[in-house]
Structure 1
């Protein structure tokens, strides 16, 4: 899937989630800390948001960032198999990290898997504010090394290590090493368990 396709999917999905939650652009801007103008640009597919911006928007909507990569339009075309060649890739325009969506698109499950290629020297910090319910997340390092800070607790992870966190404090990922790291993220997000159409919000 091309960058333009991913940008368009994010734009549609953000608008869908905002409307399903009866949020205006102004109210979402207030909850997320992302400016009204930026939200408008994203929803019109005229901006390629960074991972930090997407996480802020997801927190404001009380979903995981993974939910922004789903597509309501194909919710009725559920397939339990996601072939490697069909899995979507998204590159953070600021850090260059690459996110591969592993889970089958729109499969009605609260579990979502993503593979991250995290370049050397990159550091990303996500806020935890704005969420009504903390997300359950596990990080399994497949290659290289990363440091993960959850609040004041720092974890240095090597290949094969797996860290479970309940995200209610700021979460920082960093790669102070000379090689790109690769890790898998497993997220439990109840908003992904069923198609949003027809659900009580």
Structure 2
């Protein structure tokens, strides 16, 4: 793993470049993306310049407005020559400033694939709620350590070490660690939200 401060700077720069590129590809102004994502124009501008530390919830709203999953914002731009191998020593983790949870994209950066693998380390007592539904996107959560609650819509699933939950992200979802110990889980994401399906 990279030095923490260097890794944070690298990921902020990557997110900034990715948001700028995705917005340009879709022909959206900052104002248009602000309307679609329900994130202020000023915050979007700070994110695109790499001058903000947005929360996971804010980033998920931006991703939804762009028609991609949250994991896609942590990727490099897809390229024809991207390596199909992801080296552990080259990965960087990102820390949500609100909940303290850490996420790390395991999948090869920039490699064109409909599947993404993400590793999450979730602190004791942490909670994160994503309000946007993503039709056509599926994910599975495989708990490696600890216990978490995952609420999809109105149904809550309690997952313990070794448990795996498969779900379609067609409803709001909330993650909660009610225990006094951190949890560690793997997320496998398949599919992408069609841009033209968004409001």
Q: Give distance in 2, aligned partners of 1:4 and 1:98.
A: 15
Pairwise CA RMSD: 1.4
Which residue is 2:153 aligned to? Answer: 151
The one-character-per-residue Cα deviations of 1:37-88 (angstroms, maximum 9, x if unpaired) are 000000011101110011001111111011111122x724411111111122
**For this pair of structures, how many residues does the alignment match?**
188
Runs (4+) off by over 4 Å: none
The one-character-per-residue Cα deviations of 1:171-201 (angstroms, maximum 9, x if unpaired) are 000000011000000011347xxxxxxxxxx
Which residue is 1:63 aligned to? Answer: 68
Structure 1: runs of 5 or more not aligned: 192-201
User: Structure 2 matches for 1:130-141, cutoff 5 A?
Assistant: 131=134, 133-141=135-143
Structure 2: runs of 5 or more not aligned: 194-199
User: Structure 2 matches for 1:1-201, cutoff 5 A?
Assistant: 1=2, 2-72=7-77, 75-129=79-133, 131=134, 133-190=135-192
Q: TM-score, normalised by structure 2?
A: 0.90
1:63–1:189 Cα contact (<8 Å) kept: no
Q: 3-state DSSP class of the match of 1:16?
A: helix
1:13–1:70 Cα contact (<8 Å) kept: yes
Q: TM-score, normalised by structure 1?
A: 0.89
